[in-house]
Amino acid sequence: MTAIFPGSFDPVTLGHIDIVKRGALLFDRIVIAVLHNPSKSPLFTIQERINLLQAEVSDITGVSIDTYMGLLAEFAKAQNARYILRGVRTEADCAYEIPMAQANRKLGKGLETIILAADPIFGYMSSGLIREIAAAGYASSNGEVKFDDSALDQWVSPAVKHMLRNKFSNKEL
């Protein structure tokens, strides 16, 4: 059984990786699908997001990475996948995921979404909040980083932290 694990991954968090690892126990093959949406301006380029993901999942059997544009249901069909894998942290996530799962089931003619409850240690963290913390923390008017970024270690890998620091150091908000 193949599942698509889709998302923006801007950037990948340890919460995403936890879902991939747990998904890998349920599915033979997981395709991590990075949405390439030209109308959005992400912090990380598609290649940077792929590289960061690759470093995190290289030791998990059956996991590969791809990108898609347009409808997720079409990508799933092209991959011969009948399942989508998603993680939810909060009620708000459920409210977002359920209509999407219902629509994908119709669009994908039975494409089912398997939703895993996030481990509570990742319960409140998101890529968006990580970007906000890094932007505010690393920005410094005199080019000197004063932010004690050790708190980021509980949410992102050292490689992601390094990339965030590079993106935001020496930049004004």
71 binds ligand PNS (CB under 6 A): yes
Write down the catalytic residue from 49, 86, 127, 157.
127
Instruction: Decide if 146 is catalytic.
Output: no
Are 111 and 84 in contact, with CB atoms under 8 Å apart? yes
Instruction: Decide if 89 is catalytic.
Output: yes
51 binds ligand PNS (CB under 6 A): no
- Dump the DSSP string for 99-114: HHHHHHHHHTTS-EEE
**Which three-class secondary structure state does DSSP give residue 165?**
helix
End-to-end CA distance of the chain: 45
- Contact characters 112-151, ligand PNS, x per CB under 6 A: ----------------------------------------
Burial 32-57 (b: 16+ CB within 10 A, else e): bbbbeeeeeebbbebebbbebbeebb
Which of the stretches 50-58, 100-108, 149-157, 164-172 binds ligand PNS when contact is defined by CB under 6 A? 100-108
Summarize as ranges the residues that interact with ligand PNS (CB under 6 A): 6-8, 35, 71-72, 100, 103-104
* Active-site residue list: 16, 40, 89, 127
